[in-house]
Amino acid sequence: MGSLILKSILGLAFLMLVLAAALFLSAGSLNFWQAWVYLAVFLVCALLITAYLIKYDPKLLARRVKAGPAAERQKSQQLIQSLASLFFVGLFIVAGLDYRFHWSEVPPAVSLISDGFVVLGFFVVFLVFRENSYTSAVIEVSKDQKVIASGPYRVVRHPMYAGASLLLLFSPLALGSWVAAPLPLPLILVVAARLLGEERYLSENLSGYKGYRQEVRCRLVPFIW
């Protein structure tokens, strides 16, 4: 358990360092207040979710720690994860460059409201973790895994991706950048590609998933797709 906690904290610390470096190096300044607020919001939300998993679902935490392109078994998913990582970091670099060169300006109130939507995105992810202990960071099926059709899974088939997409969509505005606002779109397209591959895998390997697809029609966006 101790090694799992350490690995989780080190992984989160590494992520935060990458995000901070992408933001402040591209901004060329530490006076980027929107970045400080965003990083604080991101860190607090991630720590709260991690603390919950440590206490109530360490098995799920172990599944989540095993992540990244190298952890994927399919080459197509390795490529998708690599692209997602590049697009993700790129969003923060462009936001930092926007701050440095003053390409655009977002009203402070809009940035703070957008931080609220980032929190909402994290909350959706938390609801998914609370409902589904099989939410692995890689595409796989455990031998005792069952289809989850309750909680947020009653609304869309991939609520974790929905929560992450919400978080991503509002990140540029939270960081004070209109220029970076379109950048979550290619990232969400990559997420959609991963989602489709995951659905094919689950349909073939998880008993009852085909029936669940008939019950819940929307994959990512309620009432739309």
Q: 167-225: per-residue pLDDT in tens?
A: 999 999 999 999 999 999 999 998 898 899 889 989 999 989 999 999 999 999 998 99
* pLDDT over 90, % of the chain: 70
Per-residue confidence band for 70, with pLDDT thresholds at 50, 70 and 90 = low
What domain count does the chain have? 1
pLDDT (0 to 100) of residue 69: 61
* Position 180 in a domain: yes
Q: Which DSSP symbol is given to 146?
A: -
Q: Which domain holds residue 46?
A: 2-215
The letter for the amino acid at 95 is A
* Position 220 in a domain: no
Region 86-108 average pLDDT: 96
pLDDT (0 to 100) of residue 63: 80
The pTM assigned to this predicted structure is: 0.92
67 has a pLDDT exceeding 80 = no
The letter for the amino acid at 173 is L
Q: What is the C-alpha separation between 63 and 113, in angstroms, rounded?
A: 32
Mean pLDDT of the chain: 91
* Position 222 in a domain: no
Question: What CATH number should be reported for the domain holding residue 55?
Answer: 1.20.120.1630
Would you say 6 and 73 are in contact if contact means Cβ atoms under 8 Å apart? no
* Position 225 in a domain: no
Region 156-165 average pLDDT: 95
